[in-house]
Amino acid sequence: MSATPHREPTVSPLDVEAVRRDFPALHQEVHGKPLVYLDNAASSLTPTPVLEAIEGFYTRDRANVHRGIHELSQRATAAYDATREVVARFLHAARPEEVVHVRGTTEAINLVAATWGPAHLGPGDEVVITQSEHHANIVPWQLLCERTGATLRAIPIDATGQWILEEARRLIGPRTKLVACGHVSNALGTINPVAEVIALAKAQGALVLLDGAQGAPHLPIDVQALGADFYCFSAHKLCGPTGAGVLWGRYELLEAMPPYQAGGDMIEQVTLERSTFQAPPLRFEAGTPNIAGVIGLGAALTYLEELGRERIAAYEEELHQYAAARLAEVDRLIPVGTAPAKVPVFSFTVDGAHPTDVGYLLDSQGIAVRTGHHCAQPVMAAFGLSATARASLAFYNTRDEVDRLVEALHKVIGWL
């Protein structure tokens, strides 16, 4: 019998043209030009299976969850609850009960600040963030520190947009109770060294919250291997609907946290004098939730799972390299954020032009990029800027679209 030949595991490449057929919004003209959508870090587009799942809820299973014994409510509840399992698989969470449905990353962070925060922080305690955070991972901690008398510290970034780890080692100490930091920077695309920072925090007995709004769309996530305590992301950056997102937390932590909002569905027993509360995750899901949004999130993660996260990552990496090389050819384009480890997010300025003007001129060519401070003013301040233009790619973008961006930039620069 001959030995079975050794084969390297291979992942068949992503069929991007087939993928693009799943995204109806891609197939339109803007200002008479075919749309090139490069604002995926702000919000991604929605594929047909997600649209169908949402429509299916509204047209067939339209009822409230967790309350009705009738068929429609049972179906809506089953679909809503099924998403928890899909999310748990997506994050490699230990159990679905660790997944709390919220409105998005912003609400997830605010939930932790409002519930875990006051019970654990007081004068002399410290919360550590970084200079590359989105405002959603800065302002809740500022307000919490003001309320509790704790102190907020920030790990600075260097000229390439990377956290300065010596500063992290200096700032994370025995007073640190929580480190809240982004997995990937939204303004620059830097993939942050979260493992190092988690190790520093754990050595001091501090908890770690990871803002995964930009990490979850691009990187494989294993919350158990990461060793984080909380992980947050938004559905709308992952091909899902707006108004839905996830707070994942280690179950023992969630269990020890008091309720967030109060009302229906989060209680066990209510008398006129006092109430007792459900176990997590329902303790944190007061009121009628965004049922269609949660069902849409489940469909989005299932869609990504079926395309293959590895296949998507390989395609994105190849497109990333191509775009980086093409953008480097553009004279007068100044990249902002040049860390070696990045997702395909390109922040830049154009010498001699305001980023807003660059954005308008690109839009006139059918090309959607984001301009402004990207809700990360401290990042802009680190670079001495008030704004950048940002092209952020997704797995349904193509080399042709990158070429269109580069051509349009040449044209814009010619007009200056």
Binding region for ligand PMP (CB under 6 A): 104-106, 134, 136-137, 182, 186, 211, 213-214, 234, 375
The minimum distance between CB 58 and ligand PMP, in angstroms, equals 22
The residue among 47 and 182 lying less far from ligand PMP, judged by its C-beta, is 182
The minimum distance between CB 397 and ligand PMP, in angstroms, equals 18
How do strand 275-277 and strand 267-270 relate by DSSP bridges? antiparallel
For 412, phi and psi rounded to 5 degrees?
-60, -45
Rounded to whole angstroms, the Cα distance separating 414 from 8 reads 48
The minimum distance between CB 130 and ligand PMP, in angstroms, equals 11
List the catalytic residue out of 181, 232, 239, 375. 375
The residue among 127 and 408 lying less far from ligand PMP, judged by its C-beta, is 127
Rounded to whole angstroms, the Cα distance separating 375 from 136 reads 8
Strand spans (E) along 298-385:
333-336, 345-350, 367-368, 370-372
The minimum distance between CB 244 and ligand PMP, in angstroms, equals 9
The residue among 104 and 280 lying less far from ligand PMP, judged by its C-beta, is 104
DSSP state for residue 157 in the 8-state scheme: B
Rounded to whole angstroms, the Cα distance separating 225 from 36 reads 37
Rounded to whole angstroms, the Cα distance separating 59 from 114 reads 36
- The yes-or-no answer on residue 375 being catalytic is yes
Instruction: Answer whether 249's CB lies under 8 Å from 281's CB.
Output: no
The residue among 47 and 104 lying less far from ligand PMP, judged by its C-beta, is 104
- Of the candidates 108, 113, 193, the one whose C-alpha atom is nearest the C-alpha of residue 155 is 193
The residue among 105 and 176 lying less far from ligand PMP, judged by its C-beta, is 105
Rounded to whole angstroms, the Cα distance separating 373 from 284 reads 32
Tokens of 118: 């006051």
The residue among 231 and 348 lying less far from ligand PMP, judged by its C-beta, is 231
**Hey, what's the torsion of the CAs at 72, 86, 261, 126, to 10 degrees?**
180
Instruction: Answer whether 376's CB lies under 8 Å from 187's CB.
Output: yes
Instruction: Answer whether 388's CB lies under 8 Å from 374's CB.
Output: yes
Instruction: Answer whether 244's CB lies under 8 Å from 262's CB.
Output: no
Q: Which residues are catalytic?
A: 375
